[in-house]
Structure 1
Amino acid sequence: MKPRAGSKALIREINEALVLDVVRAHGPVARAAITTRTGLSAATVTGIAARLLSAGMLTETDIVRGTGGRPARLLELGSSAVLAAGVRLSSSEVYVTLVNLRGDVVSSHREDLSSTDPATCADAVARAVRTATGRTRSTSLIGVGVAVSGVVDHANGVVRHSGAMGWEDVPFRARLAALLDCPVSLDSYVNCVASGLLLFDGGLAGRDLLVFSVGMSLGASVVVQGRIHRGFEGAAGGFAHSHITGAIAGSDAGRPCHCGAVDCLETWSSYWGIQRERERRGTADRPLPDADGDPLTGTDGELFTEAAERLGSAMANAAKLLGPERVFVAFAGEMGHAVLASGTEREFLRQYAQGNTPVPAFEQTRADETALARGAAYTILARVFTTDILEEHADETGPKPASR
């Protein structure tokens, strides 16, 4: 939002965010407890609570009786009146989820894509969001978050590079915002995963983390003191195009990458890279077994084993540089094979065997389409609970509910 330093509207928004964040983290909670945690006056909390109850952003629940005086009704986040939309955009489809303020999915919708042309994609996303919201009773959509594979300049709403989509410097947020009557947020797959972890895992508040996504492409999210560090034009976390071993960029040897370099980690350890190598070896017509099915053997087993070794080594190098407390690895469904997951962790830990630095906790999870779409929606929800004065998007009006 545009700076409104000193204005009553700004102060009200900050105070509302303070109240909502306390309810998110500690709800159901009494008004008196909110007063204590925020430092706001009892009268201010009462007035804010009344406004948020009227808007459906809060609801009242069980009555708590103390040792004396009037019983206090507890406040918790609303479950249906206010929603955020999250979109997982891939080269073949648009997948939309609607979540409430508690982070619960209340509706979803899927549409096939006929093309990755940005205009076609924007039309499909807008249509899918309208279809999903049309199935709910909510009167307010506070924003739409979109997750795209690749390097995303979140602040400016531009996809700098996406091999999966074939995009270079596409101002997708502005294109989509022109079709929707609400704020739009654009971010990478992995940053959306990180947003979900940060918003609804209270134990991660203020922590230093590294979050990796492994799927069609590779990604990394750098979290410093509980906030995603994005770098210049969204360049932080350029994990996919790092080099562990192999040919020097520009040489004729090695595996060519969609970025124009050679032997990027992406060519060895992403699903895209593994499939390209299978094509080169003439085995791509043989389907890979399901991640939960038969084990990988032969050439495919070798490819995934080598992918795991390079992946674990690259993750350890990044972790040694940044010193995170925890490392999260989110595997997409097509990359959830045991040989990759266990091999990556094994190599990661091996890289610390002779070191004198603490080993970060290493945790694995799945990043399916629903998780990514929810994470995209969480980038919108996070704005509801933040007290930042300067928003990242100077051309947006903030997370106020917009009527359908």
Structure 2
Amino acid sequence: MRPRAGSKALIREINEALVLDVVRAQRPVSRARIATETGLSPATVTGITGRLLGAGLLTETDAVRNTRGRPARLLDLGTEAVLAAGVRLSDAEAYVVLVNLRGDVVASHQEPLTSTRPQDVGESVARAVRVAAASRASSALIGVGVAVSGVVDQQGGIVRHSGSMGWENVPFQHQLAALVETPVVVVDSYVNSVASGLLLFDGRLAGRNLMIFSVGASLGASVVVQGHIHRGFSGTAGGFAHSCAGTGSGRPCHCGAEDCLETWASAWGIKQELERRGETPGSLVGRDDDVIVSAAEQLGAAVANAAKVFGPERVVVAFTPEMNLPALTSRTEEVFRRQYAHSTTPPPALELAVTGPSDHASGAAHTVLAQLFTASTSDGETAAAPKSDTAR
């Protein structure tokens, strides 16, 4: 059970998380720098770092001499004591990676799925995690993060909708927690998992406002406000795939509606349209026809319209390898920029990227790691460490 807010145990947890977070952001770093950044006294920092070194969460690097006084040993994150598992679910397999505190992938495993029935998937994920963890038996597994294509309520642990898995309101976090022997299980969408990884290990994004869009079998969006993912009511923020394209085409979507953006610009939607036309979809590589042009037109305009509402400083559109089609990516960028041709404000910086299964799985693991760098009260809210030595 988590300690109550205000207890000595909670304050200790907060201070340890704060120290770890400074090391994460500035690694390698001296104890003196940690004291300056946290407001804790040198003695308190020495005590905390001693405990973290003993637990293997920190390690000492080579000594560095200051301008005066004896050399100071810098601190870095440990690499062997603890690992987090990240799982990328598709309708065909569970792809698992193990990630250390520095975000490095140290092991991986692919487990085929016999079905997409939630119980069967949970058992396959648990088996895949056990196989991967067995290869690093000397390290403690602190949690499992799972990335699923679709709309996910991370706090409630519920997959609200996943077209690729055929799931509606599946309490997958609860189901998986009963099958794995780890203290933490987190379930999130593909795109929010990617965003979690970027926010945890890219210091340039601290405190920034950005939007990240994923384009693959399905579509997704992550809204980042001042360096934190905005999840909205019931975790529904970023429901980009099922916004109405407004074309009146009547294309049926797996959500039950018609004319969703998903039916135009996702790999699933493009293949559905090709089948409707009597074609065998197969690989999309090399396609440059009206189906791809229409996908780019809808995608570029939708990304621009979403960005205009939020006003981020940066927009990332991440394509899976299957959707990294020159005809699609270049036209999407062209349409996006065209939408700002008569805008009274400059467009946000636009970045096109390619992300695959490893990025989704690693990002899912990062959602678990992130909990080591923050502390929570018993009601699940994050707590800020007091910058005072009275918090020892």
**TM-score, structure 2 length as denominator?**
0.94
Contact kept in structure 2, 1:81 and 1:137, CA below 8 Å: no
Note if 1:272 corresponds to 2:268. Answer: yes
Contact kept in structure 2, 1:116 and 1:165, CA below 8 Å: yes
Note if 1:337 corresponds to 2:325. Answer: yes
Contact kept in structure 1, 2:3 and 2:9, CA below 8 Å: no
Partner of 2:199: 198
Note if 1:325 corresponds to 2:313. Answer: yes
Contact kept in structure 2, 1:156 and 1:393, CA below 8 Å: no
Contact kept in structure 2, 1:56 and 1:81, CA below 8 Å: yes
Following superposition of structure 1 onto structure 2, how do residues 342-353 of structure 1 map, counting pairs within 5 Å? 342-353=330-341
Partner of 1:296: 287
More deviation, 58-67/151-160: 58-67
Deviation string for 1:63-93 (max 9, x for gaps)?
A: 0122433321110001122111100011100
The amino acid of 1:367's aligned partner reads: T
Deviation string for 1:231-283 (max 9, x for gaps)?
A: 11111111001123212xxxxx5210011111100000000001111111111
Partner of 1:384: 372
User: Would the alpha carbon gap of residues 61 and 137 (structure 1) be closer, same or farther in structure 2, given more than 3 Å must change?
Assistant: farther
Q: Distance in 2 between matches of 1:364 and 1:57?
A: 35
Partner of 2:295: 307
Partner of 2:389: none
Contact kept in structure 2, 1:155 and 1:392, CA below 8 Å: no
Deviation string for 1:2-37 (max 9, x for gaps)?
A: 561111111011101111111111111111111111
User: Would the alpha carbon gap of residues 119 and 31 (structure 1) be closer, same or farther in structure 2, given more than 3 Å must change?
Assistant: same
Partner of 2:233: 232
Q: Distance in 2 between matches of 1:58 and 1:3?
A: 24
Q: Distance in 1 between matches of 2:255 and 2:262?
A: 10
The amino acid of 2:188's aligned partner reads: D
The amino acid of 2:340's aligned partner reads: Y
Percent identical pairs in the alignment equals: 64
User: Would the alpha carbon gap of residues 276 and 336 (structure 1) be closer, same or farther in structure 2, given more than 3 Å must change?
Assistant: same
Partner of 1:188: 189
Partner of 1:132: 132
Give the match's secondary structure for 1:273: helix
Contact kept in structure 2, 1:163 and 1:258, CA below 8 Å: yes
Q: Distance in 2 between matches of 1:379 and 1:267?
A: 30
Q: Distance in 2 between matches of 1:31 and 1:260?
A: 56
Contact kept in structure 2, 1:88 and 1:95, CA below 8 Å: yes
**Structure 1: gaps (5+ residues):** 248-252, 290-294, 395-404
Report the CA distance between 1:390 and its aligned residue: 6.0
Following superposition of structure 1 onto structure 2, how do residues 97-112 of structure 1 map, counting pairs within 5 Å? 97-112=97-112
The amino acid of 1:323's aligned partner reads: G
Partner of 1:262: 258
Contact kept in structure 2, 1:57 and 1:81, CA below 8 Å: yes
**Structure 2: gaps (5+ residues):** 383-392
Deviation string for 1:177-218 (max 9, x for gaps)?
A: 011121100000110011111111101111111110000000
Contact kept in structure 2, 1:213 and 1:329, CA below 8 Å: yes
Q: Distance in 2 between matches of 1:287 and 1:139?
A: 41
Q: Distance in 1 between matches of 2:283 and 2:90?
A: 21
More deviation, 273-282/64-73: 64-73
Contact kept in structure 2, 1:230 and 1:236, CA below 8 Å: yes
Partner of 1:363: 351
Q: Distance in 2 between matches of 1:120 and 1:196?
A: 28
Q: Distance in 1 between matches of 2:268 and 2:236?
A: 21
Deviation string for 1:283-327 (max 9, x for gaps)?
A: 1255433xxxxx324xxx221111011000000110000000100
More deviation, 382-391/317-326: 382-391
The amino acid of 1:136's aligned partner reads: R
Q: Distance in 2 between matches of 1:348 and 1:287?
A: 26
Q: Distance in 2 between matches of 1:33 and 1:393?
A: 28
Q: Distance in 2 between matches of 1:97 and 1:3?
A: 31
Contact kept in structure 1, 2:212 and 2:317, CA below 8 Å: yes
Partner of 1:210: 211
Q: Distance in 1 between matches of 2:301 and 2:188?
A: 26
Partner of 2:388: none
Note if 1:141 corresponds to 2:141. Answer: yes
Deviation string for 1:317-366 (max 9, x for gaps)?
A: 10000000100111111101111111111111100001102210001111
Contact kept in structure 1, 2:5 and 2:378, CA below 8 Å: no
